[in-house]
Structure 1
Amino acid sequence: MGKADFLSPKAISNRIKSKGLQKLRWYCQMCQKQCRDENGFKCHCMSESHQRQLLLASESPHRFMDHFSNEFKRDFLELLRRRFGTKRVHNNIVYNEYISHREHIHMNATKWETLTDFTKWLGREGFCKVDETPKGWYVQYIDRDPETIRRQEELERKKKHELDDEERSARLIEEQVRKGREGKETEETPVFTELKRESEEEKVAFNLGASSSIAGPSKSSAVLSGGALKAAASVKRKEPPSSSDSRGERKKKSALEEIIEMEEKKKKKQQPVKTDYWLQPNIVVKIVTKRLGEKYHKKKGVVMEVQDRYGAVVKMIDSGDKLKLDQNHVETVIPAPGKRVLILNGLHRDTEAVLEGIDEKNFSATLTLDSGPQIGKRVDIAYEDFSKLA
């Protein structure tokens, strides 16, 4: 009997049956053939092509399994990136959309037994952020596209510059307030001297005037006090030596204060102010951010190049990968005593030294300077101000 025509009911029925998804139990992953029923699957297993494919698979089973696993992982992540982006989504939703495609790779042919194992593996390898909830496992794709990372770094750098501008304006306001307070303190204050008589024969006159005839105890006391003040002023004018001595002492004191203030200002100028950037080439740093996944978290690398003071190109020591990171994503590395370090901030910036000991209570270390004009000098430097030399 010949083959059914293209528009015959039999041919249309066959096309409808083969169009959709079929049962997984009648699918052969090695031959990538879907059988319609049990009899068809049995006939396929007895065929010569299937037997030949099984012989090939038995020679190197791991190669075939790794190939199918890589294909499954690649298609799954591509669907997650294209369909959901970086949104947090349930793993079953992604998996159901993935298996709706007729030509998909079945999980039975991969090295993962269940979807939960595959989800945990994605989290361990750093492809996705995974978390377990009472409703099941959720996945979130980590976009490592260089253009996306560059945009995120630019946004973080802009935010940091805005914060720096706010801090500068706050410091400027504090400096102006401090200068204003210092100016008020240095203003001359009135000096009161004791009322003394140069000779016993000198008389003190109280000029009460005509106001003494006015009745009332309050006004008479006011007049007496006014007269006493005038007498004190007259006596004060008659004592030029004592008043001049007191003014001279006051001037000497203010000059001494000015000298002390000038010395303090000089010391402040000599002391270098710590900067908010510390990255230097040829130092060892440790990655502290979790955005790159568990593969790079807490791993060490060498700074190959510093970009825009706050960014650096870091080469990983273990894998040799090169990453572009911000200084907020890394921290300094403290080596064993006797190793060479580089001072990154403070008075001895850019000076090489040798680590002598660590003070855990004060979060600092004792270093012996190995370069510069003060070579051989011992200094105490905080943990964050030095790092191991590569």
Structure 2
Amino acid sequence: MGKADFLSPKAIANRIKSKGLQKLRWYCQMCQKQCRDENGFKCHCMSESHQRQLLLASEDPNQFMDLFSDEFRTDFLELLRRRFGTKRVHNNIIYNEYISNKEHVHMNSTQWETLTDFTKWLGREGYCKVDETPKGWYIQYVDRDPETIRKQEEAEKKRKADLDDEERSAKFIEEQVRRGREGKEPEEEPVYTELVRESEEEKVAFNLSKGACSASAGPSKGPSLAANALRASSSASSSSSAKRKDAPHSSSDSRDKKKKSALDEIIEMEEQKKKKMAPVKLDYWLHTGIVVKIVTKRLGEKYYKKKGVIKEVQDKYTAFVKMVDTGDKLKLDQTHLETVIPAPGKRVLIVNGHHRGMEAVLEGIDEKNFSASLTLESGHNKGKRVEGIPYEDFSKMA
């Protein structure tokens, strides 16, 4: 019986049936042919074209497997890059979108038996960042495009240039403060006198218009308060006039002194603020290169209370940890980790507090106060011994 004619009812029915995905066990990857039932697949396997493909594959089976594996990997990564970019996504979501294409390369014809094996291979080869969670495996595409790398390098250079500008401005301010301290002259402290009212019924009124000082007072038996004020003002004016005659440039000098003293006062206030600003502990403490311990039971007994090394820190609160025993890489939050205290004499890294980011040597442990004494090995206080560092503020270095 021949094939159905073009656009005949049977031909249209066959086309409708062939749309969409069919069963995988009735698909021939070598011939790239999908059969609808077992009988059709059996007939295809007995066909001459299929036998010729098998003879070609038997000559070099690894060549065909590598070809299918490369095609599967390329299409899978291209879909991941275009669809999700560098976002973290579950591997099953990408795989379901990939196999929705009828002409895709099936995984059973590649070198990977399962999707988990393929996901681990992507992580080992550096194509993606992978991590295992209770919900399954998650992958994140690593963009190695030259244009993207160039933009990242430019952003890094700009950040370093901004830091250099901040350092130069800070040194300039310090130099100005030092010069101000060296050229500062001691100021004369003002003398304050007490204003005494001789009569409680007496009322005093001052008129300070146009720099002149005048006072009027009510009648009183004894010498009035206004008279005392007038005498004091007249004596002050006479003394000031005498000073002007003796030193004609004293007014300009006093103005310069006032200006300098105001600047010095501002500088001193800023210095006092800096000294009063005590180091505040941050709510994040993750650093690369330190040993941590997993304290969550959500990952199972395999990882509970096990140690690992932080390889990368993301968003200040998330770390990629490589386990010491198994070598597995996990993505964990800092709430699921704690610091590791080594034996005395070992090197540690201070992860929080005043000496954050400095390397030190553990000298001793105070079990009663849950703290330790450290000797700094880096920074401007190198060689200094610090006491009372809490357990959670330092961790063993890998």
Q: TM-score, normalised by structure 1?
A: 0.47
